[in-house]
């Protein structure tokens, strides 16, 4: 494999005819430039310069080597410039998927800012509660929430989410509030897509199967029912933060609230992130952690 060490230093010395001026151009020490040239000559087993106390002269092999190396180095610099430009001005299309409600409430602000900042990028946003096969369906990036199962995908944690169990004051006034997990069986629990609620008890994770008069796969519908005093509900924080702050809902079983879990950017392990996707992940991470200044949850 070709060793590029010393090439930049060699070209700089040829063009400046001075180790000192070459060092200034490269923002290195003169000793470092000299050491790189010596190592290059040792690898080539050729003398590239005649050195005297007054001047540096390129040898004939050095002149030949310079003519060959100069366009190669320029090509590398141009390639790096193009990559930098691609990162700063990305273009092209990519596809991202996320759960419906999370996507509508939390993802779309990041999408809008990204689209405004990078107008040459076309974003295909697929909001679905179905977990897509990223490879089969040509998805570049998925936003997944909560506990991730075993997967061959790469997952980057973007932010945290928190689940609350809460109820309207009118419900609590009529039926009281649970003070232990065993009391949940006495309450009307509004059930989402899963009928087990997650808690922490004595430092251990617990899942409690709950029952109630309403089951719905829409968090918005469950929230409206809870606000109306129908029953207890367990929902992510972005549904209920505003209502907890206003007093329209009250948290119960706060001591048993499960530890915060994650919001993840997920992509295939064998797919290198393009600059546009990497920049989008950074924008989303800023949105979730910088501007909202709060944890967010699942849809």
What's the CATH code of the domain at 72?
1.10.10.10
Task: Assign 3-class secondary structure to 223-264.
Answer: HHHHHCCCCEEEEEHHHHHHHHHHCCCEEECHHHECCCEEEE
Q: How confident is the model at residue 297 (pLDDT cuts 50, 70, 90)?
A: very low
> What 3-state DSSP class applies to 158?
strand
Does residue 109 surpass a pLDDT of 90? no
Same domain, yes or no: 128 and 116 = yes
pLDDT attached to residue 145: 87
Same domain, yes or no: 12 and 82 = yes
Same domain, yes or no: 241 and 167 = yes
- Distance CA(60)–CA(62), nearest Å, equals 5
Same domain, yes or no: 213 and 181 = yes
- Strands (DSSP E) found in the chain: 49-51, 56-58, 92-98, 121-127, 141-145, 153-161, 163-167, 189-190, 196-201, 204-209, 232-236, 250-252, 261-268
3-state helix, strand, coil in the chain (%, to 5): 45, 25, 30
- Distance CA(293)–CA(13), nearest Å, equals 52
Q: CB-based contacts of 104: which residues, under 8 Å, 6+ apart?
A: 127, 299
Q: Which of 35-39, 70-74, 147-151, 226-230 has the highest mean pLDDT?
A: 226-230
Does residue 296 surpass a pLDDT of 70? no
Q: How confident is the model at residue 291 (pLDDT cuts 50, 70, 90)?
A: low
Same domain, yes or no: 125 and 237 = no
- Distance CA(23)–CA(181), nearest Å, equals 71
Same domain, yes or no: 100 and 220 = no
Tens of pLDDT, residues 59-105 = 998 899 988 888 887 777 776 656 655 566 677 888 999 998 889 88
Same domain, yes or no: 228 and 110 = no
Q: What is the CATH number of the domain that holds 134?
A: 3.40.190.10
Instruction: Provide the percentage of residues in the chain whose pLDDT is more than 90.
Output: 39
Residue 1 forms part of a structural domain? no
Same domain, yes or no: 125 and 269 = yes
* Choice among 119-123, 146-150, 169-173, 260-264 with the minimum mean pLDDT: 146-150
Tens of pLDDT, residues 9-65 = 998 998 888 999 989 988 899 999 999 999 999 988 889 998 887 788 999 988 999
Region 153-175: mean pLDDT is: 92
Please tell me the total count of domains within the chain. 3
Same domain, yes or no: 41 and 79 = yes
Residue 298 forms part of a structural domain? no
Structural domain that includes position 27: 7-88
Last residue of a domain, one of 88, 123, 148: 88
Same domain, yes or no: 283 and 155 = yes
Last residue of a domain, one of 40, 67, 88: 88
pLDDT attached to residue 52: 81
Q: b/e map of 134-147 (b: 16 or more CB within 10 Å)? A: beeeebbbbbbbbe
- Write down the pTM of the prediction: 0.61
């Amino acid at each position: 494999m070709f060793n590029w060490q010393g090439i930049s230093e060699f070209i700089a010395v040829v063009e400046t005819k001075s180790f000192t001026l070459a060092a200034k151009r490269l923002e290195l020490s003169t000793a470092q430039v000299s050491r790189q040239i010596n190592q290059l000559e040792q690898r080539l087993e050729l003398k590239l310069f005649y050195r005297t106390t007054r001047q540096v002269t390129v040898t004939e092999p050095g002149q030949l080597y310079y003519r060959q190396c100069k366009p190669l180095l320029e090509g590398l610099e141009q390639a790096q410039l193009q990559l930098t430009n691609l990162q700063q001005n990305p273009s092209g299309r990519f596809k991202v998927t996320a759960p419906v409600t999370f996507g509508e409430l939390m993802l779309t602000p990041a999408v809008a800012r990204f689209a405004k900042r990078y107008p040459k990028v076309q974003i295909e946003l697929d909001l679905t509660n179905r977990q897509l096969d990223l490879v089969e369906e040509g998805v570049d990036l998925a936003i997944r929430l909560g506990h991730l199962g075993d997967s061959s995908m790469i997952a980057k944690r973007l932010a945290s989410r928190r689940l609350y169990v809460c109820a309207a004051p009118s419900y609590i006034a009529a039926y009281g509030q649970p003070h232990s997990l065993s009391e949940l069986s006495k309450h009307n629990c509004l059930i989402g897509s899963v009928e087990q609620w997650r808690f922490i008890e004595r430092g251990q994770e617990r899942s409690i199967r709950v029952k109630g008069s309403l089951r719905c796969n829409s968090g918005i519908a469950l929230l409206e029912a809870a606000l109306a005093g129908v029953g207890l509900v367990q929902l992510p924080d972005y549904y209920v933060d505003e209502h907890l702050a206003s007093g329209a809902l009250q948290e119960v079983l706060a001591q048993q609230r499960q530890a915060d879990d994650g919001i993840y950017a997920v992509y295939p392990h064998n797919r290198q992130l393009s600059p546009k996707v990497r920049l989008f992940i950074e924008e989303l991470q800023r949105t979730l952690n910088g501007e909202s200044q709060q944890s967010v949850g699942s849809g």
